[in-house]
Amino acid sequence: MTIGYITIGARDVEAALPFYDALLGAVGYARGPLDGGWAFYGKDGAPGIGICKPFDGQPARGGNGMMVAFKADSQDAVKAAYDAALANGGSDEGGPGYRPPESTSGFYGAYVRDAAGNKLCVFTGV
């Protein structure tokens, strides 16, 4: 089974776009046009991440225990995405580095939250 797409709730979709343009752009995703209140980002021509208001009309909020991770091509891309997220209203949940911290190879990632509280990871090395 493969994941077709992921949706991430936003209180104000248009206000969320600079954050997602910066974060996802740093790892090679491009945004399509805003259509019907949705913005889809994709890599290599396939839509993968949709930013939208929640269907139930309730306020968007970070899912407890839910996290989306985006694979980057390099440690530099992880750092660029982390910096871009913080520069565009994101908050720090764990700066770029190896996990576990005492490791010097393998999983290298960074963690942020968007304005709605969604936790996101950008990683490489797996």
Average pLDDT on 22-26 reads 96
Please, how many CA atoms are within 13 Å of residue 121, restricted to the half-sphere of its CB? 15
Tokens of 31: 């945004």
Half-sphere exposure of 22 (CA within 13 A, CB side): 18
This prediction has a pTM of 0.86
**How high is the mean pLDDT of the chain?**
90
Task: Give tens-digit pLDDT for 64-84.
Answer: 778 999 999 999 999 999 999
- Domains present along the chain, CATH in parentheses: 6-54+65-124 (3.10.180.10)
- What gap in Å lies between CA 108 and CA 123, rounded to an integer? 5
Q: What is the mean pLDDT of residues 107-114?
A: 95
Per-residue confidence (pLDDT) for residue 36, from 0 to 100: 87
Reported as a pLDDT band with limits 50, 70 and 90, residue 105 is confident
Lowest mean pLDDT among 1-5, 7-11, 12-16, 107-111: 1-5
- pLDDT tens profile 29-40: 999 988 888 999
Q: pLDDT (tens digit, 9 = 90+) per residue, 25-65?
A: 999 999 998 888 899 999 887 768 999 999 888 888 887 77
